[in-house]
Amino acid sequence: MIGDAASGIRAKLTPNYPVGCKRPLQSRTWFPTFALPNVTLETSPIVEFTEHGLRTADGVEHAVDTVIYGTGFHAADYLRSLDVYGTNGRRLRDDWRDGAAAYLGTVIPGYPNLFTLYGPNTNGVTSIIYILEAQTEFIRRLLDDMKRKGVQAVDVRRDIHDAYNVEIQQAMRDTVWLANCNNYYTHPNGKVITQLPYSGTMFTKMLSQVELDAFDRKEAIP
């Protein structure tokens, strides 16, 4: 029989959202940690820091020696700390004000020779190392083609970029991310801008099929 204390801890640790709405944790020590005599699990929101620790919304003051203030990160605000400018003075921050988007998470129209790794809609289906390797292989192949054909700059065609992003948002409809989740994956306008609705293998295949004709090109000066 599970004791009241253990039952209460289990209830606090049981997610109230479907599997996949947040990053999964694989650990053999996570749950046992909360049963240790020197560990207390508090789920009441923190409302303020005090002279000796912090106070939670239930009115209890908790005395502490150290506070690790981990409030998350801006996962959906790609390149938010950088000012990136493209053709005719356009600014990426402005172009992405309604949510970041890229063709295969790697190239963006209006920004010649700009390549992004772990860009929009590349997260969530497999090891990110696998995704990064697929992207770098694509970029290397593209640069080799540019050098061989005397191309100085490439800019992904707007129609190809837009069609791809419409396609992946449609594919997102049957995923847990769009149907059941409410977290950083989703932009306020309803688009899921971090996750990839395809398998890593399919993503790699799609990248491998992209050729120079998907880009507007500027020939190198002789």
In a domain, 78, yes or no: no
In a domain, 189, yes or no: yes
Mean pLDDT score across all residues of the chain: 89
In a domain, 71, yes or no: no
Question: pLDDT at position 1, please?
Answer: 41
Query: 141 and 41 share a domain?
Result: no
C-alpha span between 125 and 164 (Å, rounded): 18
pLDDT at 159 over 70: yes
Owner of token pair 């190198």: 220
Across residues 59-66, what is the average pLDDT?
A: 92
Q: What are the distances in angstroms from CA 145 to CA 65, 104, 211?
A: 58, 18, 9
Query: 116 and 180 share a domain?
Result: yes
Question: pLDDT at position 141, please?
Answer: 97
Burial of 85 (0-12, 13-18, 19+ CB in 10 A): middle
Q: What are the distances in angstroms from CA 116 to CA 53, 103, 153, 172?
A: 42, 10, 16, 22
DSSP category for residue 52: S
Tell me the two tokens of residue 76: 């959906």
Highest mean pLDDT among 32-36, 61-65, 158-162, 175-179: 158-162
pLDDT at 23 over 80: no
In a domain, 147, yes or no: yes
In a domain, 72, yes or no: no
In a domain, 68, yes or no: no
Backbone angles phi, psi at 109, to 5 degrees: -65, 140
Give the structural domain span for 211.
87-219
Predicted TM-score of the model (pTM): 0.80
Q: Which of 48, 63, 78 is the last residue of a domain?
A: 63
Q: What are the distances in angstroms from CA 17 to CA 8, 64, 86?
A: 18, 31, 40
